[in-house]
Amino acid sequence: MARGPQDLDRRDLLKALAVAVPAGALGACRMEAPRAAASPPRPREVANLVDAQPTVEGAGVHLRRALGSHALPMLDPFLLLDEIHSDNPDDYLPGFPTHPHRGFETVTYVLDGAMEHRDSMGNHGHLGPGSAQWMTAGHGIVHAEMPLQERGGTDRMWAFQLWVNLPAANKMIRPRYQDIAPARVVEAMVDDASVRLVAGEVDGRRGPVEGIVSAPEMLDVSLPPRGSMTRALPPTHNAFVYVIEGRAEVGSARTAVAAGQLAVLGAGDLLALRSASGGRMLCLAARPIGEPVARYGPFVMNTEDEIRQAVDDYRAGRLVGG
Ligand code: MN
């Protein structure tokens, strides 16, 4: 059979899989950055398609885990993506009572309902629809994240939590908290898409989250039926698309991705999205760290010794101080 576009796609797919799939086990994964693409700009194709897994987390919150499950333990530097989406308060009211973090960043993005946040730095936030919070745990924070059943509101809760790793040099930095009110999220049209930009840049406008070491881009993209969007993505970054409503077709291969599916993107320089029937998706990209990962519950470090230290520090009340 003559060499045609399918052969090229297949080679790209294999190349992308080679960089996108974690090389190690759950305990310690190492990944390399996608190789910089040659000109002309090349759309990123779907390298791996993962179904979000039903999971119970916190004090009994029923959610779907798109990243951080056995199906996809991590995509350096992304460690976890959870979606809470329910009209039944029993599914989310148990919440995430007081718990620690060290060595990475937690990102909360709320579409509907509300989440109350209190932490050991004295921050107290109320995250309503459209708001975001980028919390750099650094050497340690203790916090509670509690979904609320708003009086007079609907019973719906729709929110996401993303975990982003920190490199060894930044794991023990001072904690930092960026609370982003809905109005500060940049809204822009890109081709047919209406985009809410939490981090990164669109048309020379920067998203509100700043100073994050992995130079992340976080876009909430809504495409109308028969809509499309193409924009640059740094070729150095690992990237994924998680469809949260409707459907999308990703890359020049137009790989179909349905709500509740996460598409790991292979190498290239462009994010190319279409939707025949309309869809909404979270698009994330960040520079991979390429270091060993040791994770244990709410602690993400480089070595098992550092995990033991974090557990000891938490038990001794030293996690937050220092
Ligand atoms: Mn937390």
The dotted CATH code for 53-184+292-322 is: 2.60.120.10
Select 185-291's CATH number: 2.120.10.30, 3.60.140.10, 2.60.120.10, 3.30.1950.10: 2.60.120.10
For residue 85, pLDDT beyond 50: yes
What pLDDT score was predicted for residue 8?
A: 41
Q: Which helix (H) or strand (E) holds 214?
A: none
CA–centroid distance, 79 to ligand 1, in Å, is: 13
Determine how many CB atoms are found less than 10 A away from the CB of residue 266.
Answer: 26
Read off the pLDDT band of 30 (50, 70, 90). Answer: very low
> For residue 145, how far is its CA from the centre of ligand 1 (angstroms)?
6
Under DSSP, the state recorded for 5 is H
Distance 261 CA to ligand 1 centre (A): 23
Cα of 240 from ligand 1 centre, angstroms: 22
pLDDT at residue 157, rounded to an integer: 96
What distance in angstroms lies between residue 98's CA and the mean position of ligand 1's atoms? 8
The DSSP symbol for 312 reads H
* Cα-to-centroid distance, 276 and ligand 1 (Å): 37
86: left (phi over 0), alpha (psi -120 to 50) or beta: beta
User: Cα(159) to centroid of ligand 1, in Å?
Assistant: 13
Burial of 43 (0-12, 13-18, 19+ CB in 10 A): buried
Q: Find the 101 Cα to ligand 1 centroid distance in Å.
A: 7
- CA–centroid distance, residue 47 to ligand 1 (Å): 30
Same fold, 53-184+292-322 and 185-291: yes
What's the CA-to-centroid distance between 252 and ligand 1, angstroms? Answer: 37
Where do the structural domains in the chain lie, given as residue ranges?
Answer: 53-184+292-322, 185-291
Question: Which pLDDT tens digit goes with each residue over 304-319?
Answer: 999 999 999 999 999 9
pTM: 0.87
Lowest mean pLDDT among 21-30, 107-116, 170-179, 223-232: 21-30
CA of 254 to the centre of ligand 1 (A): 36
- For residue 177, give the amino acid letter: Y
Please answer whether residues 296 and 314 qualify as being in contact, where contact means their C-beta atoms are separated by less than 8 angstroms: no
Q: Say how many Å lie between the CA of residue 163 and the centre of ligand 1.
A: 9
C-alpha 33/C-alpha 287 separation (Å) is 7
Q: How far, rounded to the nearest angstrom, does the alpha carbon of residue 309 sit from its chain's CA centroid? A: 27
Which amino acid makes up residue 314? Y
